[in-house]
């Protein structure tokens, strides 16, 4: 297995933002990802995450969304995967195949799908896990910040995390990531397994974190409606490729996106699940 690299030196001529767009914090350039040097999962994926914005990466299960996040955060190596081609430019450095610890130290933090909190620790102990790389005196201040965004965590702070509800565990996973003080927060399916009201609550908090703290967020979701309600820009993945991109307004008004991902017909009415499944077999933009 190839050993993970450290962060590369600054690159001259890194791709610039489009005219009028925010400065790119992260640029993924035509990457291919393979597992076990044989299985090709990502096939020339390119995307840009502008500084201070929320970018949604949408698609069905198995499209390659989580693999894209792991390529950025350096977690591919734990699964015998690697970026075989292309580059991942973060703040002018190529971090493709970089060591995960160095990626975190550079300011990129991923909240994994399925929460992954430490169930045998209390809520507050879980939050302190996010401070292990820090050497400053503002940990208590940041703890109060997390409790400000997630008041339920304050109420449960001395409770074992394993006894928290699914929604509270998702809040805890995001709160723990905030304790690292990320510049780029990678959220993998935060709506998974949650009731619609909880999804709305958590996504509203994600939008506040972006607006009030300026945290840049790359959001992976199957729930296109929820993601497009908080994002500034979006990409759609199918079978390891980006097949559609645009501003939130463009995606919401795109007839293919409306019909397949939002479940709406051209008249704006919701289609039945059977109709949506039938449409999936005849996607027009592939």
The confidence score (pLDDT) of residue 24 equals: 94
Structure tokens at 59: 């698609």
Are the beta carbons of 32 and 86 closer than 8 angstroms? yes
Please identify every stretch of the chain with a pLDDT value under 70, giving residue numbers as ranges. 1-21, 263-286
Start-end ranges of CATH 3.40.50.300 in the chain? 1-107+182-246
Per-residue pLDDT tens for 30-79? 999 999 999 999 999 999 999 999 999 999 889 999 999 999 999 999 99
The confidence score (pLDDT) of residue 91 equals: 95
Q: What is the pTM of this model?
A: 0.85
The confidence score (pLDDT) of residue 136 equals: 81
For 1-107+182-246, the fitting CATH number among 1.20.58.1610, 3.80.10.10, 3.40.50.1110, 3.40.50.300 is: 3.40.50.300
Per-residue pLDDT tens for 122-137? 999 999 999 987 778 7
The confidence score (pLDDT) of residue 258 equals: 81
């Amino acid at each position: 297995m190839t050993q993970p690299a450290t962060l590369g030196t600054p690159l001259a001529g890194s791709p610039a933002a489009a005219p009028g767009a925010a400065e790119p914090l992260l640029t993924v350039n035509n990457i291919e990802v393979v597992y076990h040097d044989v299985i090709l999962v990502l096939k020339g994926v390119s995307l840009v995450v502008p500084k201070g914005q929320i970018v949604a990466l949408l698609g069905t299960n198995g499209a390659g969304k989580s693999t894209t996040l792991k390529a950025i955060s350096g977690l591919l190596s734990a699964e015998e995967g690697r970026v075989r081609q292309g580059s991942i430019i973060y703040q002018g450095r190529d971090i493709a195949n970089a060591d995960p610890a160095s990626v975190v130290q550079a300011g990129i933090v991923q909240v994994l799908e399925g929460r992954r909190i430490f169930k045998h620790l209390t809520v507050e102990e879980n939050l302190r896990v996010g401070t292990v790389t820090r050497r400053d005196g503002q940990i208590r201040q940041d703890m109060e910040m997390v409790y400000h965004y997630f008041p339920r965590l304050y109420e449960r702070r001395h409770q074992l995390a394993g006894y928290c509800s699914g929604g509270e565990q998702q809040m805890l996973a995001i709160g723990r990531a905030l304790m690292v003080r990320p510049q780029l927060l990678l959220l993998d399916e935060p709506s998974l397994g949650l009731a619609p009201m909880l999804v709305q609550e958590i996504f509203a908090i994600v939008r506040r974190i972006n607006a009030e703290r300026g945290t840049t967020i790359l959001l992976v979701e199957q729930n296109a409606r929820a993601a497009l309600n908080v994002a500034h820009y979006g990409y759609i993945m199918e079978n390891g490729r980006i097949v559609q991109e645009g501003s939130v307004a463009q995606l919401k008004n795109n007839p293919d996106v409306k019909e397949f991902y939002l479940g709406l017909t051209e008249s704006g009415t919701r289609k039945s699940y059977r109709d949506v499944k039938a449409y999936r077999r005849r996607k027009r933009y592939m």
